[in-house]
Amino acid sequence: MTTTKIAKVLLVEDEEQLLRVLGSTLAAAGYATTLAKTGAEAIACIANETFDVILLDLGLPDLDGKDVITQARATTRAPILVLSARASENEKIAALDRGANDYVAKPFGVGELLARVRVAVRPPFGAGAPGNYSSKNIEIDFRSRIAVVEGATKRLTARETELLRALADANGDIVSHEELVTRIWGVSGDADVMHLRVLAWQVRRKIEPDAAAPRYLISEQGLGYRLSA
């Protein structure tokens, strides 16, 4: 379906351990990751290279992260995702006003961060974004929320569509329960894995010839779901 290109991530974080853990998590998720430990390093990286997303800690030893955002915005339109323990609303507003796109408060789960990164690098809806998925037996039009399964047309709800889109984006890889819940219901929602199971069941009743023996929407016990072509 989509042509897959490796997204380039710049991770700016002065805490050595967090930098290492997040850096290897992002690399394991398939991102080309560049690490920077100071604001000056970050600005130099941004001047020399093009990134698809920038993850920026606000509390850096040499510069205020907000000033890094201002300087970055002079040269790049890449989404900037702020990572910070500063929970005050004013700090968030200031970071967003300077040109950050989103905000993740520390401590955050790795699943949540990866979900935010995926959203950040995903092309905007309607701007050349792939609006369709097609495999041998299934065609899905995400914009009109229609699935055609073995010739039969099924209407999907918004959440059913989002579940299928998240799985289609992963190109057959498993997407974790946590990531799916975050993507479908949002970070601050009350939904959990049970909601996801109910939603997956609904989708199966629409797209599977036998919902009890799924062929397309596959559950990987304890891990998540994947879409089998």
Residues that bind Ca ion (CB under 5 A): 14, 57, 59
- Rank residues 25 and 132 by Cβ distance to Ca ion and give the closer one: 25
- Rank residues 7 and 104 by Cβ distance to Ca ion and give the closer one: 104
Question: Cβ 108 to Ca ion, closest distance in Å?
Answer: 14
- Phi first, then psi: give them for residue 176, nearest 5 degrees: -65, 155
- Residue of closest CB approach to Ca ion: 59
- List the strands of the sheet with 102-105, edge to edge: 32-36, 8-12, 53-57, 80-84, 102-105
- List the strands of the sheet with 224-227, edge to edge: 175-176, 224-227, 217-220
Question: Cβ 92 to Ca ion, closest distance in Å?
Answer: 16
| Pairwise CA distance, residues 38 & 50, whole Å | 18
Question: Cβ 14 to Ca ion, closest distance in Å?
Answer: 5
- Rank residues 88 and 188 by Cβ distance to Ca ion and give the closer one: 88
Question: Cβ 73 to Ca ion, closest distance in Å?
Answer: 21
Rg (Cα) of the chain, in Å, rounded? 19
- Rank residues 14 and 139 by Cβ distance to Ca ion and give the closer one: 14
- Rank residues 62 and 208 by Cβ distance to Ca ion and give the closer one: 62
Question: Cβ 11 to Ca ion, closest distance in Å?
Answer: 12
- Phi first, then psi: give them for residue 74, nearest 5 degrees: -70, -25
